[in-house]
Amino acid sequence: SWAHIPLGPPDAILGITDAFKKDIHPKKMNLGVGAYRDDDGKPYVLNAVRKAEQRIIQDKLDKEYLSITGLPSFTKEAALLAYGKDSEPLQEGLLAITQSISGTGALRVGGVFLNRFYPYHKKIYFPTPTWGNHGAIFRDSGFEIAQYRYFDKSTNGLDFEGFMEDIQSAPKNSIFLLHACAHNPTGVDPTPQQWDQISEVIKERGHLPFFDMAYQGFASGDINRDAYAVRKFVSDGHRIALSQSFAKNMGMYGERVGAFSLITESVKEKAAVDSQLKLVIRPMYSNPPMNGARIVSYVLSDSELHKEWLGEVKIMADRIKLMRKKLKHHLVEDFESKLPWNHITDQIGMFCFTGLKPEQVERLTHDYHVYLTKDGRISISGISSKNVKYLAEAIHQVTK
């Protein structure tokens, strides 16, 4: 009998979409889910992706199994994208990399690998707050979870001092999970200068930086700029772990394309890590799906498609920036809210951590049919030119 099994709680984010779907109000807004929408509120499949799909059909490729670590042309391009073509460890053949089931799968493969082989601690440090799934992923990988200070509620910005103190005071050789850019859920990133300092202290303490890069390009609209932290850490000599996702920056959500990589110290070490990554993956899912990885590799390896894709990343990032501007403008100028709203435009990436309190969030949903997570996070991509003023008015009404 399974009578002893308690009913599990619904997923905090996916549950919001369910509630949204049931709502029949014409002005309802779903600001819960982190998926890009165009200005008509529609999912957006990138032109570069559509073209790559056409070419794949024309090429009549087979559907044999990929190898355990995935499609080599994909992992090669993914590594170049994250680390840059001038990356020394990349040029020297020191990067162990595997395709993964998007970012979540990359984190999980990395989690299991580190739990099996990281010699110092079975504990990982997360920013407070962090993406809701991090805890479950690393707990299920066998880790104990610890936190470092990150978000400052009083400024809706970065608690840089607290962050630095917590890096200093964590036991040597701790594992630190860092959001490479466009921190989820706060939209608050360190500046390049702050990253430089963070890199230095993490180095001094011998910590292992594990970067989660789920939004490369989404923060600034520029792939290279968003890779600043990752590349700076690598050039400072950190042997980082990295999770990559193509869900957001290539709109590949349901295709589940990502990569996990680790910088090693020697070619021999890389071979050993590669072999062990295979032993982690083989009993989990044998080998990854090919379709999404093929699409991404076609886009990235063709100079024309690559260029078109970069343009589309910028279009998405720019629309998000514009919605931030409009939301703040309506709040301050049209509704004359006296509250500070600068963080709406200071924060970056897909999300804005509004600072709304749980009871205000509840009123937004109940009275205005605006759906968002209880922590006050809104997905900017759910806002459009048509509903931004309605949202501003709703936010003003529940905060005044």
Nearer to ligand PMP, 34 or 382 (CB): 34
3-state secondary structure of 177: strand
Do β-strands 123-128 and 175-179 pair in parallel, antiparallel, or remain unpaired?
parallel
Give the strands of the sheet with 241-245, arranged side by side: 95-101, 257-263, 241-245, 208-213, 175-179, 123-128, 144-149
**Other C-beta atoms lying within 10 Å of the C-beta of residue 102:** 24
104 lies in the site for ligand PMP, by CB under 6 A: yes
Pick 203 or 374: Cβ nearer ligand PMP: 374
Site string for ligand PMP, 221-260 (x = CB under 6 A): ------------------------x-x----------x--
C-beta closer to ligand PMP: residue 243 or 264? 243
Positive or negative: CA dihedral 130, 132, 137, 140: positive
Site for ligand PMP contains 33 (CB under 6 A): no
With contacts defined by CB under 6 A, name the span among 96-104, 141-149, 200-208, 281-289 that binds ligand PMP.
96-104
Q: Which is nearer to ligand PMP, 12 or 267 (CB)?
A: 12
Is residue 34 involved in binding ligand PMP (CB under 6 A)? yes
From CA 355, how far away is CA 229, in angstroms rounded? 26
- The token duo for 333 is 């100028």
In whole angstroms, give the CA distance from residue 335 to residue 287. Answer: 54
Stretch near ligand PMP under the rule CB under 6 A, chosen from 66-74, 99-107, 199-207, 316-324: 99-107
Smallest distance from ligand PMP to CB 170, Å: 21
The residue assigned the tokens 């951590």 is: 353
The secondary structure of residue 265, as a DSSP letter, is S
Shortest CB 60 distance to ligand PMP, Å: 29
Residues 198-227: x/- map of binding to ligand PMP (CB under 6 A)? --------------x-x-------------
Q: Which residues face 259 on adjacent strands?
A: 99, 244
In 3D, which of 364, 148, 78 has the Cα closest to residue 372?
364
- Indicate the pairing of strand 144-149 with strand 123-128: parallel
Binding mask 269-308 for ligand PMP (x = CB under 6 A): ----------------------------------------
- Asked if 103 interacts with ligand PMP (CB under 6 A), we say yes
d(C-alpha 316, C-alpha 312), whole Å? 6
Query: How many angstroms separate the CA atoms of 388 and 193, rounded?
Result: 34
Binding mask 355-374 for ligand PMP (x = CB under 6 A): --------------------
In the complex, minimum distance from the CB of residue 290 to ligand PMP, in angstroms, rounded to a whole number: 17
Which residues contact ligand PMP by CB under 6 A? 34, 102-104, 131, 179, 184, 212, 214, 245, 247, 258
